[in-house]
Amino acid sequence: MKRILLTGAALAALNATPVFAQETLATVEERGILNCQVGLPTPGFYALAEDGTWSGMDVDLCRGVSAAIFGDPDKVEYQSVTSAVRFTALANAESDMLSRTTTWTAVRDTQLGLDFTTVNFYDGQGFLVPADSGITSALELDGGVICVLTGTTTELNLADYFRANEMSFTPVTNENVNVLVETYLGGGCDAYTNDKSGLAARRSAFPSPDEHILLPETVSKEPLGPVVRQGDDAWANLVRWVIFGMINAEELGVSSENVDEMATSTDPNIARLLGSEGNIGEGLGVKPTFMIDVIKMVGNYGELYEKHIGANTPIGIPREGTLNALWTEGGIIYAPPFR
Amino acid sequence: MTSIPELSDKTKQRGKLSRAIYDARIRSAIIQALTLFTVVALLFWLTRNTMINLQARNLSAGFGFLDVSAGFGIGFTLIPYKEGDTYLRVFAVGIMNTLLVAVVAIALSTVFGVLVGLARLSTNWIIAAVARSYVEIIRNTPLLLQIIAWYFGVFNLLPRPRQSMEITGGFVLNNRGFYLPGPVVEAGFTLWLGILAVSVIGAIALYIWAARRLERTGQSFPAILTGLGIVILVPLLAFLVLGSPLSWDMPELKGLNYVGGITVPPSFCALIVALSAYTSCFIAEIIRSGIQSVSKGQLEAAGALNLPANWTLRRVVMPQAMRVIIPPLISQYLNVTKNSSLAIAIGFPDLVSVWMNTSLNQSGRAIPIVAMTMGFYCAVSLSVSAVMNIYNKRVQLKER
Ligand SMILES: N[C@@H](CCC(=O)N[C@@H](CS)C(=O)NCC(=O)O)C(=O)O
């Protein structure tokens, strides 16, 4: 009897077509927690401290969304899964959003039931080699054994690059970045390849980071950004505009330190961003002053960058003169206006 | 003479119907048809539902992706594969790699398992104790742990390519893999293969003839020894006469790594060693219990007949022990095949790693990919157990 009941329940579960569309915000509010998917702990982007708290550039996007919804940046449950299963976990509604150095590609955007919101870091793929290997260019890697994460754009670019340059290679693959890095550090491969930001992040946690060098070549373009399920445009809007808000805040000079003073600013751009004029929040399903919370509790784009991955952090990715500088400073970090 | 009243047509029919219901054959046919119908309907409904759900989640479905280029490299392939080949090719590569692991691990664990099993029965207590500790320690540690320990604790710690351990004859070991000479086929090789086949068939024929003669006349003939002689000497001679139709491609350090010959990646080595060691423990126990299951009386009877020791083992003990050994052995062989999927932990490109993981993630086609993987494992399991069951039937007690 029990078995029949169980089978029945299983069948019922299969039959039920879960309603995903248009309900994410309501579901999150009701749950009181935002389920945000990050990767296996990676310094700078989604780092895990010993006391179990998460921090980093990508983590702060989750915190920003949480602040916008709840007025509290810490109503987040972080789900840490390997990159190989990230899209399945999101598509099956185990996560509400994914924020983990994920490259926006056509296949991912159109065939996996997912939607990319925007780009929060412009990156490209590079190679890390031991300094004592004497290798100074990726073109010297012919015949090399290359460590690469599975299920990434990295492994596809790797194959393309070697094919285009008529070189051969043997991939050593794993879905777990820790196993891969261990293999690389043990000398199991000639080079470790990933997004350059990822390489800098990993290297910062090596026992002796100076013994590894980043080769000069950038072999791909990797626009990284948060992803949501396809079909809930309102939810995608919220995630997207929280990030746009952070970028606009930097551009307008609004930071976590001065946001309280700025709240009474008469500059109409600032007033619209912080909700004293107009009501951008209404269309997003949050309160008019949601960006005050986001900026005060989390920060503007520039603050996040400098705090987590900037030149003065162990990751040390300089911002000046790169694509990730504001558009007003020669970069391409650019957000549509809050109006 | 009393006449029996004619049965009305209606009653006759009812009789037929009830007879049909009570007829076991017809009844079982009806039940089977109903079951079949239910299963088919269920499958249909499941598929339809899946399609609807996939659509609701904006996920692509179907098998159309199979002839799309996969675009990633694979570290070890038995069949030719290059970046840019299709997903279907990746599936084939994964299957071949999984089968290779299974076959090699089954062979090694059987040989080792038999040795350890016999050692456990040794009257020399040191040998027995060593065998026993081996079994107890390896059997009681999780396999995944052992695989990772072999990978990081042994193969990843080997010297780097420039300091490789060069074992004689073109065998090289370093932390990028185990390199061995690769055979290169030359003119005359097919002819040699033919000669090899003929001598093997000849040896088998000789063995059958000897067995028949033994039954007929009671005279024995050293067929195994002669057969081995034929199988080894004839091809060897032919090989020399044909001017060695096989040459060897030696691995050589060129640039960053060794090239040429056959390369076995560290992940394969770690997987095979761990899988074989682990499974051999279970096989050892199966062998031991199988042999111990043969009652002492049988041995004493053989002794009383003054049978030589190796005859006692071959003709009295083993045939009876086999009956106990085969069924659990089948499940061990199936376990090896399934356990080989732990390869993913150290990145050996077996079916689960390269198909269920990488391809699924790159293409997003979860349903067809999972279905194809399940289909493969199911087919392997069914065919292994079919073969073993046939063998099992043959060695079963025959009532005479
Ligand atoms: N951007 C690529 C690669 C992503 C990636 O590999 N991320 C690096 C950090 S930048 C990593 O180590 N990820 C580990 C993880 O996510 O578990 C993609 O989306 O496929």
Domain boundaries, chain A: 4-121+224-329, 125-220
What per-residue confidence (pLDDT) applies to A10?
Answer: 44
B318 versus B108: which is more confidently predicted? B108
For residue A163 the two structure tokens come to: 């094919």
Q: Is A202 helix (H, G, I), strand (E, B) or coil?
A: helix
- pLDDT given for residue A3 in this prediction: 46
**In which band, very low, low, confident or very high, does the pLDDT at A5 lie, cut at 50, 70 and 90?**
very low
Indicate whether B261 pLDDT > 90.
no
For the question of whether the overall pTM of this predicted structure is more than 0.90, the answer is no
Topology given in CATH for the domain delimited by B87-181+250-395: MetI-like fold (1.10.3720)
**Residue B270 C-alpha to ligand 1 middle, in angstroms?**
26
Strand, coil or helix: what is A80?
strand
Give B277 or B183, the one with higher predicted confidence.
B277
Atom from ligand 1 closest to the CA of residue A149: 6
Residues B73, A171: C-beta atoms closer than 8 Å: yes
Over residues B294-312, the mean pLDDT reads 88
Name the closest-CA residue to atom 8, ligand 1.
A198
Q: What is residue B167's predicted lDDT score, i.e. its pLDDT? A: 84
Phi, psi of B278 (to 5 degrees): -60, -50
Taking the C-alpha atoms of residue B129 and residue B131, their distance in angstroms, rounded to an integer, is 5
Mean of pLDDT values over A159-179: 95
Do the strands A144-149 and A191-195 form a parallel or antiparallel pair, or are they unpaired? Answer: parallel
| Confidence band of A14 (pLDDT split at 50, 70, 90) | very low
Please tell me the distance between residue B276's alpha carbon and the centre of ligand 1 in angstroms: 34
- How is domain A125-220 classified at the architecture level of CATH? 3-Layer(aba) Sandwich (3.40)
Q: A32: distance to nearest CA of chain B, Å? A: 24
ipTM for the whole complex: 0.85
Provide the shortest C-alpha distance from residue A98 to chain B (in Å): 15
Angle of helix A233-252 relative to helix A301-308, nearest 10 degrees, comes to 80
| Residue A316 region by backbone torsions, left for phi larger than 0, else alpha for psi between -120 and 50, else beta | left
pLDDT of residue B11: 57
CB A143 within 8 A of CB A189: no
List A36's β-bridge partners, or say none.
A78, A97
Contact A187 B160 (CB under 8 A): yes
Residue A178 in contact with partner chain B when CB distance is under 8 A: no
Q: Identify the three-state secondary structure at position A79.
A: strand
Cα A198 to ligand 1 centroid, rounded to whole Å: 7
**For residues B309 and B147, what is the distance between their CA atoms, to the nearest angstrom?**
40
Residue B8 has pLDDT above 80, yes or no: no
Do A273 and A291 meet the contact criterion of CB atoms below 8 Å apart?
A: yes
Distance in angstroms (rounded) separating the CA atoms of residues A25 and A191: 43
The span from the CA of A305 to the CA of A311, in Å, is 9
Q: Are A179 and B347 inside 8 Å of each other by CB?
A: yes
| Range scoring the smallest mean pLDDT among A105-114, B99-108, B316-325 | B316-325
CB atoms closer than 10 angstroms to residue A330: 11
pLDDT at B9: 58
pLDDT at B236 over 80: yes
What local confidence, expressed as pLDDT, does residue B398 receive?
64
Chain A 261-300, residues with CB within 8 Å of chain B CB atoms: none
Distance from CA of B80 to the nearest CA of A (A): 14
Q: Is A197 in the pocket of ligand 1 (CB under 6 A)?
A: yes
The tens digit of pLDDT for each residue in A190-228 reads 999 999 999 999 999 999 999 999 999 999 999 999 999
Average pLDDT rounded to a whole number, residues B90-113? 96
Structure tokens at B66: 């199979």
Cβ–ligand 1 distance for A66 under 6 Å, the answer: no
DSSP H stretches of helix in B121-188:
125-139, 143-153
Whole-number Å distance between alpha carbons of A144 and B208: 54
Element (H, E) at B14: helix B9-22
Judged by average pLDDT, the poorest of A241-255, B234-248, B284-298 is: B234-248
Rounded distance from Cα A195 to ligand 1 centre (Å): 7
The finding on whether A149 has its CB within 6 A of some atom of ligand 1 is yes
What would the mean pLDDT of A143-148 be, rounded to a whole number? 96
Give percent of chain B with pLDDT exceeding 70.
94
Q: Which residues of B touch A176 (CB under 8 A)?
A: 345
Pocket test for ligand 1, best of A152, A157, A181 (most atoms within 8 A of CB): A152
A51-76 pLDDT, tens per residue?
A: 999 999 999 999 999 999 999 999 99
DSSP A86-107: HHHHHHTTS-SEE-SS-B--HH
The pLDDT value given to residue B399:
59
Is the fold of A4-121+224-329 the same as that of A125-220? yes
Instruction: Phi first, then psi: give them for residue B180, nearest 5 degrees.
Output: -135, 160
Q: Say whether pLDDT at B74 is over 60.
A: yes
Of ligand 1's listed atoms, the one at least distance from the Cα of A82 is: 17
Give the whole-angstrom CA distance, residue A143 versus residue A162: 10
Q: Which residues of A touch B362 (CB under 8 A)?
A: 107, 151, 156
Cα–Cα distances in Å, from A179 out to A82, B75, B186? 12, 16, 42
- Using a 6 Å cutoff on CB, does residue A222 contact ligand 1? yes
B60, B73, B361: residue with CB nearest A84: B361
Q: How many CB atoms lie within 10 A of CB B106?
A: 22
Query: 3-state secondary structure string, B272-339?
Result: HHHHHHHHHHHHHHHHHHHHHCCCHHHHHHHHHCCCCHHHHHHHHHHHHHHHHHHHHHHHHHHHHHHH
φ, ψ of residue B367 to 5 degrees: the values are: -65, -55
- Residue with the bigger pLDDT between B21 and B26: it is B26
Closest residue by CA, ligand 1 atom 19: A102
pLDDT interval class at B314 (50, 70, 90)? confident
A167-171, A179-183, B80-84, range with the lowest pLDDT: B80-84
A89 near A81, Cβ under 8 Å?
Answer: yes
**Tens of pLDDT, residues A231-272:** 999 999 999 999 999 999 999 999 999 999 999 999 999 999
The per-residue pLDDT for range A265-298, each reduced to its tens digit, is 999 999 999 999 989 999 999 999 999 999 999 9
Spell out the CATH class of A4-121+224-329: alpha beta
For the residues B301-325, what does the mean pLDDT come to? 87
- pLDDT given at position B17: 66
The tokens for B47 are 């598929």
Predicted local confidence at residue B394, as pLDDT: 79
Q: B24: Cβ–Cβ under 8 A, 6 or more apart, which residues?
A: none
Task: Look at residue B131 in the predicted model and tell me its pLDDT.
Answer: 95
- What ranges do the domains of chain B cover? 9-56, 87-181+250-395, 182-249
- What value does the mean pLDDT of chain A take? 92
A97-98 and A34-38 strand pairing: parallel
